[in-house]
Structure 1
């Protein structure tokens, strides 16, 4: 193995998806694939997910949404929620991408582009439930809904969803957010009919707060086996990826492995446990292009060291590493450089 590898399990990914769907039913799963599917590779993720019947993908931006559409074709629904340029709006509308709308200005641009192209835009209106992450304020909501309904009558728009983000900071705050959300849905319903797709929750709230789920749940991290920072392990969910590097030299009884901070491994992770043929050992030091690992009996050049994974070799998960440096497991995965080869192993 000449380069570090992120070894990814299709089998475990499929199992995680099934566990998530069983947990959130009857809410439908929207598999979030932002950041190149959390560093696992968007094309592979979409292909596997579609093969087990995933029908909704959340892409964050239009560029990634178009990548999903290219891989999956027209049979799936793709949702892009980042505010986009007019050119991106055009691309999204032509390719049938649903757009998340969090401002009156963005709604106006989508309506204008739909009129120019002669197509019907599918939109999900976003209410600000208190997180202040690009959502329409409650005092502006009625006017935005009225504008969207007028565009529907004109044949330019279809309100297919209402959505929002919540802080997941406390049950009380999330309950308050749900009350705002349900009131926003009522306003849309009163102005026409309730949209089929209502989505408020992401991974953690979808998993533990069933009363908050709508007809659709946006879940990314849990499907990839990445638990919440400081959160418990998840029944039926395991990491689908392991980061593996080879021993390239033995120096003074310790193993020098072929991965370093230039590969995206944070140098602040020194002191963490990693998996070796001799079991768990300490990651002594992380240099620019290599790292030093505590030795084990019989170690030799070419031995494999598991920096994180499912624990089969004594390593810990990406989230457990992330907790050491006060971040989340997704960051450990998404910061890996292109030198780390993504390899599907089963």
Structure 2
């Protein structure tokens, strides 16, 4: 049901649209205040910003390294570092002791190399390839390449022969996720072909890897099946004569909960950004983590309205009585989920409020309950929770999704402000 209990779809604000009850809403005059301003140290105006605490990111990596002990760490910075900013987060992760960076697309990997992160500073693995991809550019940039099927190995070897640059390959086994990677019945053939190419000097099999389907669900039967499947894939690779530099399986939840999956390298993604990949087991603090991103905006309008007033598209929220409304200049074009309509939490003036009505493309409304904060006052959508504000996990629960999506979807027109950039 849309809207508050006992609520109804409203009449038009100025009496021109009949409500479902047949009554007309009286004409009203809204009390408004002036325009919001939000400028940074350089005098640039922002309606909102995402603050990214790189000191927290470094501390999270330190906590993860302490937890895992010996394995190397691949900092996963795909999808613009889960919305936090790939280059700043990659550099901070390397400062904190990560020696690998993980990317999905070739373009992400090449952008990091172009920004000056050379092979002498970090290995970069790229795993999401499609036919006709930029194989030669990746080879010349020293990017490690994931191969999960014969078509990819064939295209890569063609690029090696054309460029004269040998490849560093990570063979990916599908141990049960049913997504990318080579199925068990095709694995011996892929391994044999890679070994032949290695013997010819065309490539080095630098890694063998896989990915969990349900490591975030402790006790799920697929976990042990995948552990066994990965061990079998490794045994077949070694029997064929491959001696990979790194064997890796552990994503964030496995890094936290499954030490038997750590092998030579762990691949923290969400956990590095201070969010719990297993919220049913524990929050960030339970694992020594702190959320890295906070999202704030400034109220763009505050006004008084009468009871029965419709709010936003479709009037799926109507005011239960005389109240004040606040306009927040963020919408689904900025990554605020439309599913947050009537559910998304914010903090204004130290109080939690809820999105009232539909989230629109560029803005949403909150019912302030009669409070009258000033235009320009801070709206804290999510943060670490240390000030009592909502967290990304609170937004995930409100929207029926996961915290990964909440932070990753924050759009490019929301500027990022980086703090904690200097160590020490």
Give the TM-score category using the shorter length.
over 0.9
1:166 Cα deviation (Å)? Answer: 1.6
Flag the structure with larger Rg.
2
1:254 Cα deviation (Å)? Answer: 2.9
1:344 Cα deviation (Å)? Answer: 1.0
Higher helix share: 1
1:293 Cα deviation (Å)? Answer: 2.5
1:317 Cα deviation (Å)? Answer: 1.5
Tell me the alpha carbon deviations over residues 229-254 of structure 1, each in whole angstroms, 9 at most, x when there is no partner. Answer: 64321321111111100012211123
Tell me the alpha carbon deviations over residues 30-75 of structure 1, each in whole angstroms, 9 at most, x when there is no partner. Answer: 1111111111111111222222232100011111011122231222
User: What is aligned with 1:203?
Assistant: 252
User: What is aligned with 2:42?
Assistant: none
Tell me the alpha carbon deviations over residues 99-152 of structure 1, each in whole angstroms, 9 at most, x when there is no partner. Answer: 111001211221221122112111011111121212112122122111111111
User: What is aligned with 2:333?
Assistant: 262
Within-5 A mapping of 1:126-137 = 126-137=172-183
User: What is aligned with 2:104?
Assistant: 60
User: What is aligned with 1:343?
Assistant: 417
Pick from 190, 213, 218 the counterpart of residue 262 of structure 2.
213
Give the Cα–Cα distance (whole angstroms) in 1 for the partners of residues 332 and 246 of structure 2: 43
Give the Cα–Cα distance (whole angstroms) in 2 for the partners of residues 262 and 96 of structure 1: 36
Matched, 1:283 2:355: yes
User: What is aligned with 2:34?
Assistant: none
TM-score (norm 2): 0.77
RMSD: 1.8
Q: Secondary structure at the match of 1:148?
A: helix
Alignment check: 8 A CA contact 2:275 2:283 kept:
no
TM-score (norm 1): 0.94
Pick from 29, 44, 55 the counterpart of residue 88 of structure 2.
44
Within-5 A mapping of 1:219-258 = 219-228=268-277, 230-231=279-280, 232-234=282-284, 235-252=287-304, 253-258=324-329
Q: Which runs of 5+ in 1 are unaligned?
A: none
Q: Secondary structure at the match of 1:138?
A: coil
1:307 Cα deviation (Å)? Answer: 0.6
Matched, 1:73 2:118: yes
Within-5 A mapping of 1:1-346 = 1=38, 2-71=46-115, 72-74=117-119, 75-168=121-214, 169=217, 170-228=219-277, 230-231=279-280, 232-234=282-284, 235-252=287-304, 253-269=324-340, 270-285=342-357, 286-295=359-368, 297=371, 299-346=373-420
Q: Which runs of 5+ in 2 are unaligned?
A: 1-37, 39-45, 305-323
1:29 Cα deviation (Å)? Answer: 1.1
1:255 Cα deviation (Å)? Answer: 2.2
1:279 Cα deviation (Å)? Answer: 3.0
Give the Cα–Cα distance (whole angstroms) in 2 for the partners of residues 287 and 171 of structure 1: 39
Alignment check: 8 A CA contact 1:165 1:201 kept:
yes
Alignment check: 8 A CA contact 1:3 1:341 kept:
no
Deviates more, 1:4-13 or 1:226-235: 226-235
Deviates more, 1:261-270 or 1:55-64: 261-270
